[in-house]
Structures are given as structure tokens and as C-alpha cells.
Amino acid sequence: MTFAGWATIVVFILALTALAFPLGSYLAKVYTGQRVWLTPIVGPVERVVYRIVGVDSRREQDWKAYARSLLLFSLFGWLILYFILRTQTLWSWTGLNPEGFHSAPWNVTFNTVSSFLTNTNWQYYSGETTMSYFSQMAGLTVQNFASAAVGIVVAVALVRGIIGRSGSGIGNFWHDMTRTLLYVLVPISIVGAIVLMSQGVLQNFSHYLTVHTLTGATQTIAMGPIASQEAIKELGTNGGGFLNTNSAHPFENPNQFTNLFEILLVLVIPAALVFMYGRMTGNRRQGYAIYATMAIMFLGACAVAYIAEAHGSPAQHAAGLHTGVISGSGGGNMEGKEQRFGIAGSAIFDVVTTVTSCGAVNSAIESFTGIGGAVPFANLSASEVIFGGVGTGLYSILLYVLLAVFIGGLMVGRTPEWLGKKLEAREIKLAGLGILITPLAALFCTALATATNAGTQSISKAAAGGPQGFSETFYAYLSQANNNGSAFAGYSGFVQPTAGNVGSHGLTFTDLLGGFDMLFARYAPILFALAVAGALAGKRITPAGLGTMRTDNPTFVVLLIGVIVLVGALTFFPALLLGPIVQGLTGHLYK
């Protein structure tokens, strides 16, 4: 460990807070329909969109109508993406398939489409050997935008329900989607893409480049329109790499600066939404309390991952390597890590992308040490509430807040109240279901995949023996259920003997189980969150009295952390013990 490594983590959280705070007030204006500085430019475009889509943006929807619009929009998104990916060769006339790649089989495509639609970006395929530029752009980039926007609008709708004073309206889905895309995602993505291009992230439609190396060999280098997708991949907490090794690839993440820049893009909206929530409730301290909860858990995760990775792995020590810091080398577990990022830069990146639903990686999580690898596990077990995905993080933690208020209310023996609204059986039931449905999906799928021959064939041969095989399986379904998309990447659902998909086939059981895992664990919690919004929207607000438990002070922060850890630990501890914790506690090597 080095001072510079710790400085990276501290400076990062400070920079994040400094960016997220003003963005939070901007978001509050965007979602309460106020003018912002982009209005003169974007306003006319916004009106054109409303006309084309046929939307009366002032028309409020109740939660059921809002959910119906969301589901219909998602359904068409799914169908269009599936169509584009399965007809890859048909689009060669555009010139955007220079390598002449064929489509992947139906089962892998089912998984991929469900994955990008749900903001998961789990990838059984490898970008540069299967996807044409057209599929990446018109197919995958589109869902990078759409799925991120869907997450954000659900969070906004839930906040509206919480603060709503009369009626059952929680906003208009089309209005929220349009404003999210035009005022937030597209402008920041444009800036992000330009910054990334300036640093060496590719943006071209060329054939793969053939070079003649210094020693006279030939090397073929993958190309493509990467920067435009990379920006929204990070900003929308999507995480699906254009190239197989994701943000470890120098063309996606070229240097020490882009490494920090990309994780700032990942966290800025989830963090800003928390401040937005504070502003919209009229009490900014509500936002600060949630922000503090998230920041504490985040810093804890960074510290554990950094210490564990800097210590090195049992395999390294058994081979006789010295893993301490020496002059000219940072040491540590460098298996599956890039020199330019080092241990701290890799640890913080993977913590950021696993606390959020991003799932991009700049190093191989499967090669992390037992305890270092347990950190992404723990982050996922907390159901993506530590900042979380764009929108999903806020609506998920608000469900936990509801639960914490309820438990707090029981402890002091009063009717639980939250922001002046009495919490009753209906909301608590809905929130409880919303919280438990994701772990349920994850554990059910893991059990099924571990217990069947069809499931175990996906485990990589190198990991077949020890607890690593279980870790791979568990991580796969946990990651897909949480719509994260990072992987212990030895776990496979696709066999591709040569580039371009000729002769390739998917592992149907694994592809389908993962696909349904993602779809179910995405849309069920969304419906519960919207239902909670609907249930709260119509409630009258009563002024806070002496007996009201406050939700904006340090006591509540502690209570909230306790509830999150307790739910996560009770649900996942037995499974975690069988995989990463066993590995972290032993120096034993497994065949």
C-alpha cells in the first residue's frame, strides 16, 4: 500500500461530492419543470419530441399508467434490439460491419438483449469478435441510454410519490424520459465522449488495423466507434464493454486520468440524485443523511479491497513472489491488472462499478484475492444501494429507508412516520417485497445452476475444483439479478471457436436462466417501487411532532446502515461463506 493509493480514494470521494452537489440541484430543477441553462438550446428539441411521440407532457399519470408506459416502452426496446442483433449481416450495406461478423445464436442473443435492456450489460459474448459496429451503435448504445433513463425516472416518480400532497399522480413517464435524455444523459455523454477521444479512446468505422511489429510479426488491432458508447456506458451505470476486456482495454481506458474520469462519470448521477432527493423533499438534510450512509459504506469497501489486493494472493506467495512495494513497482496482486492503474486504481474502479449497477471492470475480478473478491460480492449483496445504479440506487435505498423507519418506529413504539406521512401495512409490504425479490432471484438461480449438470458446465475448467467454481456461479446470478453485469468471467454461456460467430453456439440453460434472472429482478422491483409511490402519493401530510423519529440525523444513518447490512448479511452470508470467504481465510491452493 502507498500513500498515493490512499490519496486516490480520498480525493476521489471529495471530487465526486463537489460535482454531484451542483448536479443535484440541476436535476431537481429538471424534474420540477423549471428553466435551466440548457433550456434555450434543448427546449425546442423537447417540444419536437413531444409532437412526434404524441405526448401531452402536462398530463399526470397514476402509478399504474406510469408503469404501463414503462413496460410498453421496454417491450418495444427489447424487440427492436433482438431484431437488430439477429439480423447483423443484413446491415452490412451500411459499411458498419467491416469484419463481416454473423449474428450470435438465439440463446446468447436472448441473454444479451435482456441484459442491455435491464441496464445489466452482462456479456457472454466478446465485443470485438462478435458485434458489428452497427449492432454496437444502433443496438447496444441505444439501450445504454434507454435503460439508464428508465432507472432514473422510476426514482423520480418515487420521490414525487413521497412528497406528493394530493391526488395520485406521480408524473408523466414520457415527459420524464424525454427530459432525462435531453437535459441529462445526452449532454453529459457528449462532453464525456469528447474528453475520452482526446485521451485516445477510439471513434472510427475503420477495418481492424493490421500493423507490422518491430520484430516483423503482424498484429491485428480491433477498431470501432468506442468513445460514444464508452461515455454513456459509464454515465448510465451500464458497464457493457465495447471490447472484451472492458475498461481494462487501453482503447476504452487509456491512462491514469481516464481511469478516474470514468469512475466519476459512473457515480456522478447516482450521487447527484441523492442531493436532488433532499432538495425535492424541501429538507436538504434528508439527502445528506442518505449520502453519508452511502459514502461510509463506499469508503469501507474501498479500504478492504485495497488492503486485500495490496497484500497479494496465496498463489503468488506459493510461487515465491514478493508482493510488497519496492522501488519502481507497487507490488500486490497484479494478476489480471493493468500496470497503469496499479492496485489502488484497480481496487477503487471495481468498487465503484460494483456498488453501482455499472459492472464495468478495469481488472479481472475473478483474479482478485478471496477477500478482495468478497468486496464486490458484499456490494452486490447490499442490493446496489451504496450509490447504486442511476435511479435504481435511489429508489432501492428509499425502500430501505422506509423499512428502517418502520423498524425504528417499532423500537420506540409509535406509528412510523416518514416526512409527515404515516406508514401503513400496504407500503411496508410493498417495500419488503421490493427489497427481497432481488436476493430471492439471485439465490434461486444460483441453487438451480449449482445443482444441475446443465448449470455446472458453465464453470471454467481452471476453477472446476475448489470454491472458485461456486464463486463463479454465485457471482453470475447475483450480478445478473442486481443488474450489475460484472463477472467472474470464467463462467461462460457461449462457445465461439472463431471470430465472427461461424460455428458458435450458446449454452441454452445458462443463457436463459441468466436472462430471466435479469428481467425478473429488474421489472419486479420497479413495479414495487412505483406501487409504493402510488400508495404514498395520496397521503395527507401531518406536521412533525415530538414523537416523530427524525430521518436526517446521524442516529438514523447508523440505523439505516444497520438495516442494509442486516438484510444483506442474513440473506447472503451462508452462500458467501462457501465461496470467497473460504478462499480469503485459507492459503490453500485448489486443483
Partner 1 sequence: MASDSFKRETVRALIAALVIVVAGGILYPLVMTGVGQVVFPHEVNGSQITVGGKVIGSELIGQSFQTPVYKHGKLVENEGVVETTPDPRYFQSRPSATEGGEYNAAASTFSNLGPNSVATKEAISKHIKAYIKLNRPYYPGLRPSNVPVDAANSSASGLDPEISVANARIQAHRVAALRHLALGRVLALIPTYTSSRFLGFSGEEGVNVLELNLALDRMQGGLASGR
Task: Please say which residue, 194 or 411, places its beta carbon nearer to partner 1.
Answer: 194
Q: Which of residues 89-118 bind partner 1 (CB under 8 A)?
A: none
State the minimum distance, in angstroms, from the CB of residue 549 to partner 1: 33
Q: What angle do CA 537, 542, 548 make, to 5 degrees?
A: 110
Q: Which of residues 345-364 bind partner 1 (CB under 8 A)?
A: 345-346, 361-364
Does 68 bind partner 1 (CB under 8 A)? Our answer is yes
Q: 426-445 b/e with 16+ CB inside 10 Å = b?
A: ebbebbbbbbebbbbbbbeb
Q: Which of 105, 164, 467, 534 binds partner 1 (CB under 8 A)?
A: 467
Closest CA to 538 of 156, 176, 160: 160
Do 430 and 531 contact (CB within 8 A), yes or no? yes
Question: Which residue do the cell numbers 452470508 mark?
Answer: 573
CA distance 475 to 6: 28
Give strand pairing partners of 168. Answer: none
| DSSP for residue 365 | G
Q: Which of residues 39-58 bind partner 1 (CB under 8 A)?
A: 49, 52-55
Task: Please say which residue, 117 or 401, places its beta carbon nearer to partner 1.
Answer: 117
Phi then psi for residue 30, to 5 deg, are: -60, -40
Task: Please say which residue, 211 or 569, places its beta carbon nearer to partner 1.
Answer: 211
Q: Which of 296, 499, 524, 565 binds partner 1 (CB under 8 A)?
A: 499
Question: How many Å is the Cα radius of gyration of the chain?
Answer: 23
Does 208 bind partner 1 (CB under 8 A)? Our answer is yes
The number of angstroms, rounded, from the C-alpha of 373 to the middle of its chain's C-alpha atoms is 17
Q: Which of residues 213-252 bind partner 1 (CB under 8 A)?
A: 213-217, 219-223, 225, 227-229, 232, 243-245, 248-251
State the minimum distance, in angstroms, from the CB of residue 252 to partner 1: 9
Task: Please say which residue, 197 or 541, places its beta carbon nearer to partner 1.
Answer: 197
State the minimum distance, in angstroms, from the CB of residue 136 to partner 1: 8
Does 453 bind partner 1 (CB under 8 A)? Our answer is no
Count of residues binding partner 1 (CB under 8 A)?
A: 150
Segment contacting partner 1 by CB under 8 A, of 341-349, 417-425, 442-450, 477-485: 341-349
Contact pattern for partner 1 over residues 156 through 175, marking x by CB under 8 A: -----------xxx----x-
Does 212 bind partner 1 (CB under 8 A)? Our answer is yes
State the minimum distance, in angstroms, from the CB of residue 512 to partner 1: 23
State the minimum distance, in angstroms, from the CB of residue 257 to partner 1: 4
Task: Please say which residue, 137 or 549, places its beta carbon nearer to partner 1.
Answer: 137
Which spans in 281-369 are helix H?
A: 284-311, 314-318, 342-355
State the minimum distance, in angstroms, from the CB of residue 488 to partner 1: 7
Q: Which of 200, 503, 547, 562 binds partner 1 (CB under 8 A)?
A: 200
Helix (H) or strand (E) holding 102: none
What long-range pairs does 213-221 form, CB within 8 A, spacing at least 24? none
Task: Please say which residue, 44 or 465, places its beta carbon nearer to partner 1.
Answer: 465
Task: Please say which residue, 62 or 424, places its beta carbon nearer to partner 1.
Answer: 62
Segment contacting partner 1 by CB under 8 A, of 32-40, 271-279, 310-318, 547-555: 310-318
Closest CA to 156 of 66, 236, 73, 72: 66
Task: Please say which residue, 364 or 576, places its beta carbon nearer to partner 1.
Answer: 364
Q: Which of 91, 106, 205, 444 binds partner 1 (CB under 8 A)?
A: 205
CA distance 10 to 2: 13
CA distance 86 to 83: 5
Q: Which of residues 4-33 bind partner 1 (CB under 8 A)?
A: 4, 7-8, 11
Task: Please say which residue, 201 or 399, places its beta carbon nearer to partner 1.
Answer: 201
Helix (H) or strand (E) holding 538: none
Does 329 bind partner 1 (CB under 8 A)? Our answer is yes
Do 506 and 107 contact (CB within 8 A), yes or no? yes
Does 519 bind partner 1 (CB under 8 A)? Our answer is no
Q: What angle do CA 493, 151, 230 make, to 5 degrees?
A: 60
Q: Which of residues 368-407 bind partner 1 (CB under 8 A)?
A: 368-370, 372-373
Longest alpha-carbon distance in the chain: 80
Task: Please say which residue, 181 or 398, places its beta carbon nearer to partner 1.
Answer: 181
Does 515 bind partner 1 (CB under 8 A)? Our answer is no
Q: Which of residues 126-145 bind partner 1 (CB under 8 A)?
A: 126, 128-129, 137-139, 141-142, 144-145
Segment contacting partner 1 by CB under 8 A, of 404-412, 419-427, 467-475, 528-536: 467-475
Do 504 and 494 contact (CB within 8 A), yes or no? yes
Which residues make Cβ contacts (< 8 Å) with residue 289, sequence separation at least 6? 551, 552, 553, 556, 557, 560
Do 264 and 19 contact (CB within 8 A), yes or no? yes
Which residues make Cβ contacts (< 8 Å) with residue 459, sequence separation at least 6? 469, 472, 473, 490, 491
State the minimum distance, in angstroms, from the CB of residue 182 to partner 1: 9
Residue 10, number of CB atoms within 10 A of its CB: 11
State the minimum distance, in angstroms, from the CB of residue 235 to partner 1: 12
Q: Which of 256, 452, 542, 555 binds partner 1 (CB under 8 A)?
A: 256
